[in-house]
């Protein structure tokens, strides 16, 4: 047994996870690599030949080569059933409920960490590690996620849902590095097969990046059910017909095919009436939003009313100043004095104190300061 302990490393076959594994090996940990097969590309529809991301044969072979070269064990684990139940079904459900989902957060919270820790326990590992650009530390009895050094690659937003118990066993070796440094490290370590490998940004189970096609494939008769709903303005005036509410997202401008003489944007989606409301860009600006299904990270509760924070409302959002209040055991509300554009139900609200994640939750409703009516 290594003096530093035994660690199970999630290896996608990319540069970040490969460097993570080798870095920990050289630091004195006993490393075991694991690649999780989450999705079968042959069943993905569309252009199934476009295999990208962490579940391809090429990626698995790249991960295996790194493990072989550096002399540690590597396993491939099939978690397609778990992934389908938790992530894919909820992805579809959210669109069918008129919301815009974030499957990567669901995967991190309910699949990757849960699946990895179960395997880690079976293998006698003390820790799990991933190649995320984020940091974790213990302070006052809590495990706190904070932003990575490379703000352009920071992934703390996607990790807000990881529980305290799971963070207790988590290592993020790359949190203190820039991406360019990691690529250089890969070259220095002789990991030439991954050093210049491109990052993957697609949803892993939608390799052609066409979620509308994916929904059509997953929901029998979807187009017949939803085609021909009304576009309306904020006063309820009918402006035209649309192709079905699941195929639109808040803030969308392109693909509306409305002749309005000016740009208009999707401002509200009503799945019950299959109605899409459109308006000017100013109509996308809201001051308040509430989030539910919370995970408290830095504190067990928001410590004060109107706590000054930075609130991020989507991935790659730098965050904007806001005032956070806990309005229930499982609800927070943030007030953005300058408003935020296109706050979208189904995405996550992640609140920061400096670089530390205070809490996160799923955006439930939005409103403006004039109206007390909240919009789902």
User: What's the predicted TM-score (pTM) here?
Assistant: 0.91
pLDDT band at 43 (very low <50, low <70, confident <90, very high): low
Query: What mean pLDDT is predicted for residues 185-214?
Result: 86
Task: Please report whether residue 47 resides in a domain.
Answer: yes
Same domain, 145 and 272: no
Residue-level pLDDT at 371: 47
Higher-pLDDT residue of 197 and 123 is 123
Same domain, 84 and 50: yes
CA distance 238 to 375: 20
Which distant-in-sequence residues (6+ apart) come within 8 Å of 98 by Cβ? Answer: 245, 246, 269, 270, 271, 345, 376
Residue-level pLDDT at 368: 81
Nearest residue to 35 via CA among 2, 59, 69, 7 = 59
Same domain, 149 and 61: yes
Residue-level pLDDT at 153: 94
Residue-level pLDDT at 149: 96
Mean pLDDT over each residue of the chain, to the nearest integer: 91
Q: pLDDT tens digits, residue range 211-239?
A: 999 999 999 999 999 999 999 999 999 99
Contact yes or no for 95/112 (Cβ under 8 A)? no
Residue-level pLDDT at 58: 84
Token pair listed for 90: 């909820």
Same domain, 145 and 12: yes
Token pair listed for 141: 């009895």
Same domain, 163 and 37: yes
Domain boundary among the residues 250, 279, 308 is at: 279
CATH number, domain with residue 296: 2.40.30.10
Q: pLDDT tens digits, residue range 138-190?
A: 999 999 999 999 999 999 999 999 999 999 999 999 999 999 999 999 999 99
Task: Please report whether residue 207 resides in a domain.
Answer: no
Same domain, 252 and 119: no
Give me the number of domains the chain comprises: 3
Same domain, 256 and 305: no
Same domain, 135 and 18: yes
Domain boundary among the residues 170, 188, 206 is at: 188
CATH number, domain with residue 247: 2.30.30.280
Same domain, 12 and 149: yes
CA distance 241 to 271: 15
Residue-level pLDDT at 49: 44
pLDDT band at 375 (very low <50, low <70, confident <90, very high): low
CA distance 95 to 97: 5
Residue-level pLDDT at 85: 77
Q: pLDDT tens digits, residue range 297-351?
A: 999 999 999 999 999 999 989 899 999 999 999 999 999 999 999 999 999 999 9
Task: Please report whether residue 203 resides in a domain.
Answer: no
Task: Please report whether residue 206 resides in a domain.
Answer: no
Domain boundary among the residues 148, 173, 188 is at: 188
Residue-level pLDDT at 111: 83
Same domain, 144 and 17: yes
| Helix axis angle, 15-26 to 179-188, nearest 10° | 60
Q: pLDDT tens digits, residue range 45-85?
A: 554 444 455 567 888 889 999 999 999 999 999 888 888 87
pLDDT of residue 113 exceeding 50, the answer is yes
- Residue 321's CB: how many other CB atoms inside 10 A? 11
Residue-level pLDDT at 324: 98
Task: Please report whether residue 85 resides in a domain.
Answer: yes
What residues are labeled active site?
107, 204
CATH number, domain with residue 60: 3.40.50.620
**Helix ranges restricted to H, the chain:** 15-26, 57-70, 80-83, 89-96, 103-106, 113-122, 164-167, 179-188, 211-218, 222-226
Task: Please report whether residue 1 resides in a domain.
Answer: no
Same domain, 36 and 172: yes
Q: pLDDT tens digits, residue range 14-37?
A: 999 999 999 999 999 999 999 988
pLDDT of residue 372 exceeding 50, the answer is no
- Tell the residue number behind the tokens 């309306």, with chain if given: 232
Task: Please report whether residue 151 resides in a domain.
Answer: yes
Residue-level pLDDT at 373: 53
Domain holding 324, by residue range, is: 283-367
Same domain, 45 and 171: yes
Token pair listed for 340: 């935020």
Task: Please report whether residue 201 resides in a domain.
Answer: no
Residue-level pLDDT at 41: 59
CA distance 163 to 159: 9
Residue-level pLDDT at 357: 98
- Tell the residue number behind the tokens 């809490």, with chain if given: 359
């Amino acid at each position: 047994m290594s003096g530093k302990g035994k660690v199970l490393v999630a290896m996608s076959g990319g540069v970040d996870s490969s460097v993570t594994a080798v870095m920990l090996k050289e630091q004195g940990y006993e490393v075991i690599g694991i690649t999780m097969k989450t999705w079968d590309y042959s069943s993905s529809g569309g252009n199934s030949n476009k295999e990208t991301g962490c579940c391809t044969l090429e990626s698995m072979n790249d991960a295996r080569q790194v493990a072989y070269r550096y002399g540690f064990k590597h396993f491939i684990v099939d978690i397609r059933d778990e992934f389908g139940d938790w992530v894919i079904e909820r992805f579809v459900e959210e669109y069918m409920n008129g919301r815009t989902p974030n499957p990567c957060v669901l995967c991190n919270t309910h699949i990757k960490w849960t699946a990895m820790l179960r395997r880690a326990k079976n293998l006698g590992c003390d820790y799990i590690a991933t190649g995320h650009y984020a940091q974790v530390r213990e302070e006052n009895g809590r495990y706190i996620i904070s932003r990575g050094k490379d703000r352009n690659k920071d992934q703390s937003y996607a990790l807000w849902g990881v529980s305290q118990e799971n963070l207790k066993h988590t290592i993020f070796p790359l949190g203190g590095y820039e991406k360019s440094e990691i690529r250089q490290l890969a070259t220095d370590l002789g990991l030439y097969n991954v050093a210049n490998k491109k990052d993957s940004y697609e949803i892993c189970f939608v390799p052609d990046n066409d979620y509308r096609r994916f929904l059509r494939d997953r929901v029998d008769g979807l187009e017949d059910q939803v085609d021909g709903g009304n576009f309306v303005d904020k006063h309820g005036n009918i402006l035209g017909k649309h192709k079905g509410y699941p195929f639109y997202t808040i803030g969308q401008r392109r693909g509306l095919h409305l002749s309005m003489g000016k740009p208009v944007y999707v401002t509200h989606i009503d799945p019950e009436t299959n109605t899409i409301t459109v308006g000017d860009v100013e109509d996308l600006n809201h001051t308040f939003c509430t989030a539910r299904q919370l995970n408290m990270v830095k504190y067990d509760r928001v410590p004060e009313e109107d706590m000054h924070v930075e609130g991020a409302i989507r991935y790659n959002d730098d965050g904007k100043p806001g005032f956070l209040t806990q309005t229930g055991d499982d609800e927070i509300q943030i007030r953005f004095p300058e408003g935020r554009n296109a706050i979208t139900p189904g995405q996550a609200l992640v609140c920061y104190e400096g670089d530390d994640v205070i809490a996160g939750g799923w955006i439930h409703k939005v409103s403006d300061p004039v109206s007390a009516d909240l919009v789902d």
